[in-house]
Amino acid sequence: MANSGLQLLGFTMAALGWVGLIACTALPQWQISSYAGDNIITAQAVYKGLWMECISQSTGLISCKMYDSVLALPASIQATRALMVVSLVVGFLAMMIAAMGMKCTRCGGDDKVKKARIAMTGGIVFIVAGLAALIACSWYGHQIVTDFYNPLVPMNTKFEFGSAIFIGWAGSALVLLGGALLSCSCPGSEGKAGYRSPRSYPKPSSAKEYV
């Protein structure tokens, strides 16, 4: 069974990754205007996120506008929204479950095997949350790359990766690694190690044999 230090490290990594996913979901810098062409106006930059679109002027003025209609958005944004929200909700549940099963807490009773199973369950749920966020960020990134190399898309309307999508990838990796460390809390290993077969002691030989 994993020791308390390994459990604490996994929980900390997963929690930091979950906070990164919150920041990634809220930030509007999922994609930013590309300056790959020659006749590109650099006086302003356009940022697009999951919830809003922002325009940054060269003077430092930033104006943002929420998307008017959800159904009018592209399918990639709608799917990314749903996956990121699912990832955040599942990650919150995973933190509650993992906190109950860690050795350094008193929740979940004093049964070590039971607490190890709870911690392992929390790690598995963390892995599910990390996979959902990783799929969302990768899907959105794939759409950015596809539109960038599409010759039918005008050069002045092409976008590149923003800072939020990199935060999402980093947060997904931390959640997956933390969940994997928590999943090492396998209850079967300690049960086998703690069990010892009874020793058979030889009977003392008697000085005389009785018929």
Tokens of 153: 């898309």
pLDDT digits (tens, 9 = 90+) for 9-46: 889 999 999 999 999 999 988 998 877 665 455 667 88
Tally of domains within the chain: 1
Task: Say which DSSP state 156 is in.
Answer: G
198 in a structural domain? no
64 in a structural domain? no
127 in a structural domain? yes
Contact, 20 vs 171, CB < 8 A? yes
Instruction: Count CA atoms within 13 Å of residue 39 on its CB side.
Output: 2
135 in a structural domain? yes
Q: Residue 161 maps to which CATH number?
A: 1.20.140.150
Q: Phi, psi (5° rounding) for residue 89?
A: -65, -45
Q: What is the pLDDT of residue 172?
A: 95
Q: Lowest-pLDDT range, 1-5, 61-65, 146-150?
A: 1-5
Q: How far apart are CA 87 and CA 68, in angstroms?
A: 24
**157: containing domain:** 4-28+70-192
For residues 87 and 151, which has the higher predicted lDDT (pLDDT)?
Answer: 87
20 in a structural domain? yes
In this prediction the pTM is 0.79
Q: How far apart are CA 150 and CA 74, in angstroms?
A: 16
Contact, 2 vs 22, CB < 8 A? no
Contact, 181 vs 15, CB < 8 A? no
* CA distances from residue 203 to 153, 207, 211 in whole angstroms, order as listed: 90, 12, 18
